[in-house]
Amino acid sequence: MNAARAINHHADHPGFAGVTGVLCAVAFLLVGRAKARMAADVARISPQDHVVDVGCGPGTAARVAARRGARVTGVDPASAMLRVARLVTPRRMPITWSEGCAETLPVADGSATVVWALATVHHWQDVGAAVAEARRVLAPGGRLIAIERQSPDDATGLASHGWTRQQAESFAALCRETGFDDVSVSESGSGKGAVWVVCGTRR
C-alpha cells in the first residue's frame, strides 16, 4: 500500500518567475474557466461578497467573481502572474491585486466572505498555517472553498498536480480542526475534468 500523500505534495515547486512565468500565465488564461465558474457557483457569489482568491494566477476566477458583482482581492506569490492579471483586467473591475502567499494574506481580519483556492493548495508551503490564515480573514459564516483536480494514487509528473481522495479528505479534516463547520468533500466533472471540491464555513 502506498504511503499517504501529503496535502501539499508539490510545495517544492519552484514557482512562476520571469519569462517562463509570463508564458505560464498566458497558458493559464486558456484553461481554468470551468473551475472559476464552478467556484463562483459553489460560493453563490453576489454583490455582497468580498472574495479572496489565493493563488489567483492571471486572474480568471477573480474576474468571474467581479462580473457577478463581488469585490475581489487576488493574491499570488508570482509577480509575473500578477503582471498578466493587471494587463488583461479592465480597470473598472473591483479587483485588488496583491503579491503574497496563502500563509500571510494581505487582508484584514474578518473582512472576507469567501476565500477560495483553485488548484493551488497542493503547492502551499504550510497548509495548517494557510487554513488558519483563511479563517482569520473570513467573517463568521464566510466560506472556504478548495478545488483540486482528481489525481490517481499512482500518478506522477503533471498528472500528480491534484489530489487523491485521501488528500481531499485530509484537507477537509484539517479544516474541521481549524474551526470550520459544515465541511464537505464532493466530486464534480468527469474524465480529465474531474475535480474534488472541499467547502467549509467559518464558525
pLDDT by 10s per residue, the chain, length 203 = 345 789 999 888 877 877 776 777 777 887 778 899 999 999 999 999 999 999 999 999 999 999 999 999 999 999 999 999 999 999 999 999 999 999 999 999 999 999 999 999 999 999 999 999 999 999 999 999 999 999 998 888 877 889 999 999 999 999 999 999 999 999 999 998 999 999 999 99
pLDDT digits (tens, 9 = 90+) for 18-44: 777 677 777 788 777 889 999 999 999
166 SS3 class: helix
Tell me the C-alpha distance between 116 and 129, whole Å: 15
Tally of domains in the chain: 1
The domain in which residue 113 lies consists of: 18-202
Judge whether 7 lies within some domain: no
0.75 surpassed by pTM? yes
Structural domain includes residue 11: no
Longest dimension (CA), the chain: 53
Residue with cell 487582508: 107
Structural domain includes residue 181: yes
4 Cβ neighbours under 8 A, 6+ residues apart:
166, 170
- Give the CATH number of the domain where residue 156 resides: 3.40.50.150
Give Cα separations from 173 to 36, 66, 183 (angstroms): 24, 30, 8
